[in-house]
């Protein structure tokens, strides 16, 4: 039986982003932890996320914000010094961007990760470190034959991809995330830092500012609601499993609560076969939910795109008892409900830099 260690000082790299802010919010709501967010504020929506967290923290001293870049080793080391737990979500996240600038992709995803690991090692505190990797480390899975149906690809009798699947880094992004997750694992083996790697499929949910390269379900939904056509690469029958962000943060809690078993482990994390959906199927679901039909054109599939990827999370379930609770339609509904309350900040007519200056002024008092 694992004894749950009280939360102390929790450092979240990329803490103003989608996953990071949801995790920070859960900690602020349900624990006494002090939360330190480290983020370069480069992504759309992060300033709204910070305001959301500040409202939850109110006048307490539980929320600290550092505006910084994980490529800055000195800033990272300073941030890590007092951390008892580290969650590393900061990344270059798009395959397309990695093709345009592989060096930047490498410097952020590999160099930034190494900076965090070295700072954790040198701190002498042996902090719990959780790193979010990607299913892209498995390549295009060409060895897994797919069957075609009118609305989706299928893998007959396939229970999903587990951690025994051979690595096959494909694209600079796949290489950088894969190299990073191997470093994270090795710092447990070589230096005793208790690390955990999550190789994740599609994460979705409320507060997601979706775009073409990340958060595709939110991107599809918002585009339909705004009558904005999109481009689909391939024929739309590609399948992914979807995990609600609320279930993901419960998985963070699970590996922490069972740290004697989970330290040094890599887990494939996703919604599984019950939460698999194709692009065409989610378009139909959006129309059923909103009455809006998404307009799209198709282009040639992008290199390395997986026709069928579904996660087998049996290892995580065995080690922690965790299972997803939200299904795809419930997750889609949660995004839609959030959109109804926040249309203005998602509207594409607002520039990406909307209110950045005022947001920086707002958080200046909290930033170190």
Q: What is the pLDDT of residue 158?
A: 73
CA pair distance 80, 9, nearest whole angstrom: 10
CA pair distance 64, 35, nearest whole angstrom: 6
On whether residue 82 sits in a domain, the answer given is yes
CA pair distance 207, 234, nearest whole angstrom: 28
Residue pLDDT, tens place only, 187-239: 999 999 999 999 999 999 999 998 777 799 999 999 999 999 999 999 999 99
Q: Quick check: is 173 catalytic? A: yes
CATH number at residue 219: 3.40.50.720
Percentage of the chain lying above the pLDDT 70 cut: 92
On whether residue 3 sits in a domain, the answer given is no
Total-model pTM: 0.91
**Total tally of structural domains belonging to the chain:** 1
Residue pLDDT, tens place only, 104-154: 999 999 999 999 999 999 999 999 999 999 999 999 888 888 999 999 999
CA pair distance 201, 344, nearest whole angstrom: 29
Residue pLDDT, tens place only, 248-275: 999 999 999 999 999 999 999 999 999 9
Which of 170, 173, 183, 187 is an active site residue? 173
On whether residue 2 sits in a domain, the answer given is no
On whether residue 184 sits in a domain, the answer given is yes
On whether residue 45 sits in a domain, the answer given is yes
On whether residue 315 sits in a domain, the answer given is yes
On whether residue 55 sits in a domain, the answer given is yes
On whether residue 323 sits in a domain, the answer given is yes
Torsions phi, psi of 240, nearest 5?
-135, 155
Q: Which domain holds residue 57?
A: 9-364
In the chain, alpha helices (H): 18-30, 46-57, 73-80, 95-100, 102-106, 112-123, 171-191, 216-225, 245-257, 259-262, 279-290, 314-320, 328-341, 343-346, 356-364
Cα 256–82–7 angle (5° rounding)? Answer: 30
């Amino acid at each position: 039986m694992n004894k749950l260690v009280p939360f102390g000082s929790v450092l979240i790299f990329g803490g103003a982003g989608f996953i990071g802010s949801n995790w920070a919010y859960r900690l602020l709501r349900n624990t006494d932890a002090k939360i330190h967010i480290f983020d370069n504020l480069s992504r759309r929506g992060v300033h709204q996320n910070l305001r959301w967290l500040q409202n939850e923290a109110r006048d307490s001293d539980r929320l600290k914000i550092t505006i910084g870049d994980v490529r800055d080793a000195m800033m990272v080391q300073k941030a890590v010094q007092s951390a008892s737990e580290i969650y590393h979500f900061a990344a270059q996240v798009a395959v397309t961007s990695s093709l345009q600038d592989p060096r930047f992709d490498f410097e952020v995803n590999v160099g930034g990760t190494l900076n965090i690991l070295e700072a954790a090692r040198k701190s002498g505190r042996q902090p719990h470190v959780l790193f979010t990797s990607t299913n892209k480390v498995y390549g295009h899975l060409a060895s897994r034959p797919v069957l075609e149906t009118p609305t989706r690809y299928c893998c007959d009798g396939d229970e999903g991809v587990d951690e025994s699947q051979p690595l096959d880094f494909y694209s600079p992004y796949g290489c950088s995330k894969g190299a990073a997750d191997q470093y994270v694992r090795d710092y447990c083996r070589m230096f005793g830092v208790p690390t955990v790697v999550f190789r994740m499929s599609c994460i979705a949910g409320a507060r997601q500012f979706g775009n073409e390269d990340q958060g595709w379900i939110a991107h599809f939904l918002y585009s339909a609601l705004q009558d904005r056509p999109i481009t689909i690469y391939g024929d739309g029958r590609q399948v992914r499993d979807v995990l609600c962000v609320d279930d993901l943060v419960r998985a963070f809690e699970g590996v922490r609560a069972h740290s004697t078993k989970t330290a040094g482990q890599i887990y494939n994390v996703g919604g599984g076969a019950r939460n698999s959906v194709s692009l065409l199927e989610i378009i139909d679901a959006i129309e059923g939910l909103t009455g809006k039909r998404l307009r799209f054109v198709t282009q040639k599939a992008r290199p390395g795109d997986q026709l069928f990827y579904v996660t087998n999370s049996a290892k995580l379930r065995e080690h922690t008892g965790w299972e997803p609770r939200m299904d795809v339609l419930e997750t889609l509904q949660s995004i839609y409900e959030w959109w109804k309350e926040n249309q203005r900040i998602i509207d594409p007519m607002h520039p990406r830099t909307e209110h950045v200056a005022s947001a920086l002024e707002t958080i200046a008092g909290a930033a170190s």
